[in-house]
């Protein structure tokens, strides 16, 4: 990961009286400088994983109840030059800004310029993922018809496909780089994130965004045997022909991509110690294959060994 940097911070094993100060320090270095205070007498408990890519940043943030603020005077002392997207995963939050206030529920995200005053509060704690983009890059993407900020969008199960795809990309990327065998293509990840944000902002001319959104939709429905090209195309707002052209431009086809992702999932399941009781037929069914024979043939073509040989290696 030569063009990326992974950082971690936790208040665990830090003396209670120093936690807020050190939590502020980490946020200032790795994400966004914030003026932070707790809501009660209980010691703060917070942790954060940060991924710094060539021009954007991602973070996975968990914490107990707290208020975070950037006032006009604080912003003058600590400018950021970024626009941020905060994806609420757990905990209700309030968001005060110059034009009023919002209440955000899990499954909602707010897009805002970090150099405009705001106060965010989490009375019952929080879990969120965050994406920051350089302001000038954001302005280029949004164009003159970009939404007024703050902009709220829904990435829940009832939300839009592109919004779900961006939230999933950020969360999965942070999960993958934190695992025992981290894998990351920094340029591809950043490109996909920015392309998806362009779609959310209403830019319909971004082929990379539609492709990234389609792939995220496929990955969410990988085990569904009824996953078809028509269903994927409808979800991302394209015709099947347009979608096929986007995959061809990526050097593959939709069918080949689905097949490859299902084989990858099967490889993980076959090696999972907690799933050793599953038969090969059960693994095939859980990965969306119509039959064990088809699964075995495709698996061997792609991996070079049979599913049983892979499990025993």
Residue 1: what pLDDT?
46
For residue 184 the two structure tokens come to: 């990351």
Q: What is the mean pLDDT of residues 128-138?
A: 98
> Locate tokens 């120093």: which residue?
18
Q: Kindly report which listed range (38-42, 105-109, 299-303) carries the lowest average pLDDT score.
A: 38-42
Q: What is the mean pLDDT of residues 153-171?
A: 96
**Residue 199 burial (C-beta neighbours within 10 Å; 0-12, 13-18, 19+):** buried
Q: What is the dihedral of CA 163, 169, 175, 179, to 10 degrees?
A: 170
For the cut 90, the answer to whether the pLDDT of residue 139 exceeds it is yes
pLDDT band at 173 (very low <50, low <70, confident <90, very high): very high
Percent helix / strand / coil, the chain, rounded to 5 = 45, 25, 35
> What is the CA 223 to chain-centroid distance, rounded?
20
Q: Which CATH superfamily is domain 5-190 in?
A: Jelly Rolls (2.60.120.10)
Q: Give the Cα separation of 146 and 198 in Å (integer).
A: 10
pLDDT in tens, 239-274: 999 999 999 999 999 999 999 999 999 999 999 999
For the cut 80, the answer to whether the pLDDT of residue 130 exceeds it is yes
Q: What angle do CA 93, 95, 97 make, to 5 degrees?
A: 175
Domain borders along the chain are 5-190, 219-312
> Which one is predicted more confidently, 63 or 226?
63
For the cut 90, the answer to whether the pLDDT of residue 196 exceeds it is yes
Report which of 47, 82, 87, 44 is spatially closest to residue 66, judged by C-alpha positions: 44
Residue 32: what pLDDT?
98
0.85 surpassed by pTM: yes
Chain-wide mean pLDDT for the chain?
95
Second CATH level (architecture) for the domain 219-312: Orthogonal Bundle (1.10)
pLDDT in tens, 66-87: 999 999 999 999 999 999 999 9
End-to-end C-alpha distance for the chain, whole angstroms: 28
Contact 69, 57 (CB under 8 A): no
Residue 3: what pLDDT?
84
pLDDT band at 291 (very low <50, low <70, confident <90, very high): very high
Q: Kindly report which listed range (78-87, 112-121, 288-297) carries the lowest average pLDDT score.
A: 288-297
pLDDT band at 2 (very low <50, low <70, confident <90, very high): low
**Cβ density class 261-288: b for 16+ within 10 Å, e for less:** bbbebbbebbeeeeeeebebeebbbbbb
Identify the H or E element spanning 57: strand 57-63
- Those residues whose C-beta lies under 8 Å from the C-beta of residue 135, and which sit 6 or more positions away, are 81, 82, 83, 113, 115
């Amino acid at each position: 990961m030569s063009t990326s940097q992974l950082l971690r911070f936790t208040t665990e094993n830090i003396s209670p009286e120093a936690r807020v100060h050190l939590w502020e320090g980490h946020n200032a270095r790795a994400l966004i400088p914030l003026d932070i205070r707790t809501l009660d007498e209980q010691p703060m408990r917070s942790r954060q994983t940060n991924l710094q890519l060539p021009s954007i940043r991602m973070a996975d943030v968990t914490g107990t109840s707290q208020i975070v603020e950037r006032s006009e005077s604080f912003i003058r002392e600590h400018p950021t030059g970024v626009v941020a997207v905060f994806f609420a995963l757990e905990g209700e939050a309030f968001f005060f800004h110059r034009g009023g206030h919002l209440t955000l529920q899990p499954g909602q995200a707010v897009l805002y310029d970090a150099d405009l005053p705001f106060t965010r509060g989490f009375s019952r704690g929080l879990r969120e993922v965050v994406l920051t983009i350089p302001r000038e890059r954001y302005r280029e993407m949004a164009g003159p018809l970009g939404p007024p900020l703050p902009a709220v969008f829904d990435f829940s199960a009832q939300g839009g496909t592109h919004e779900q795809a961006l939230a999933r990309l950020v969360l999965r990327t942070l999960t993958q780089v934190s695992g025992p065998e981290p894998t990351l293509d920094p340029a591809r990840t950043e490109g996909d994130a920015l392309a998806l944000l362009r779609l959310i902002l209403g830019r319909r001319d971004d082929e990379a965004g539609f492709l990234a959104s389609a792939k995220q939709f496929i990955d969410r429905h990988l085990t569904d045997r009824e996953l078809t090209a028509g269903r994927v195309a409808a979800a991302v707002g394209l015709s099947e022909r347009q979608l096929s052209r986007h995959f061809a431009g990526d050097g593959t086809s939709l069918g080949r991509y689905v097949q490859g992702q299902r084989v990858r999932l099967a490889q993980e399941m076959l090696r999972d110690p907690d799933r050793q009781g599953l038969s090969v037929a059960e693994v095939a069914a859980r990965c969306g294959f119509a039959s064990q024979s088809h699964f075995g043939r495709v698996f061997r073509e792609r991996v070079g060994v049979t599913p049983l040989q892979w499990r025993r290696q």
